[in-house]
Amino acid sequence: MEQVADWHSHLFLEAHIVAFVAVANHYSRSPARFDVACDNVTSRWLGKATDFRLEVSWHNDTAKKAKRLRETMQSGPLVELASVAVALILASRVAPLGRLDVTEYGARADYRARKRRPVLEISGTDAPAEFGRRHREKVAQARDNPFGWGACVVVCAFSPAGHRVRFSKHSVQEADHGQREG
């Protein structure tokens, strides 16, 4: 997990990394395992696969920081930060998006890859029943992105029954079609 900071060296990710460990360590020791389902995502690494198992490990000293963070932060913001860390692993190792920029848009942050031109919408929950709804919300938000670009959406669900990630890609045409139908 600590490597994420090197992969996105222009972003401040220390808090996200520690938050990830605070959340994941609550369920299991290192490594944490995620069942990742991909929709419409193409990459050399993924080939023709549409799902895979992601294992994320961390160091003991990060676990110590995570323990302290967990004592001072509520679950919601922790999961929010942790999900960004997971999404940035996928955006770097699974379907490399290149250098990401982050802009503020009202109350939310918008991540985007300027060269490859998708925006990246991220969300997370520790209530598995929320998973599908949260993904639909993020897809809707992503298709309304200010650039009219295509979008990647990453939603994480942390759960004692097993962590899940849904990673999907949406074209502008699909987005416009959805907007007309919606």
Among 32, 66, 81, 87, binds other proteins (CB under 8 A): 81
In the numeric block, the tokens 């001072």 are attached to 72
What is d(CA 128, CA 126) in angstroms, rounded to the nearest whole number?
6
Give me the least distance between CB of 68 and other proteins, in Å please: 12
Q: Taking CB under 8 A as the rule, does residue 45 contact other proteins?
A: no
Nearer to other proteins (CB atom), residue 44 or residue 115: 115
Nearer to other proteins (CB atom), residue 46 or residue 102: 102
What is d(CA 138, CA 92) in angstroms, rounded to the nearest whole number?
20
Among 10, 48, 53, 180, binds other proteins (CB under 8 A): 10
- Contact between 147 and 110 under an 8 Å Cβ cutoff? The reply is no
Burial of 56-71, coded b for 16+ CB within 10 Å and e otherwise, reads: bebeeebbebbeebbe
Q: Taking CB under 8 A as the rule, does residue 166 contact other proteins?
A: no
Per-residue binding letters, 112-151, with other proteins (x by CB under 8 A):
--x-----------------------------x-xxx---
Give me the least distance between CB of 76 and other proteins, in Å please: 9
Q: Taking CB under 8 A as the rule, does residue 77 contact other proteins?
A: yes
* Number of residues counted as binding other proteins (CB under 8 A): 28
Interacting residues with other proteins (CB under 8 A): 10-16, 69, 72-73, 77, 80-81, 100-107, 109, 114, 144, 146-148, 179
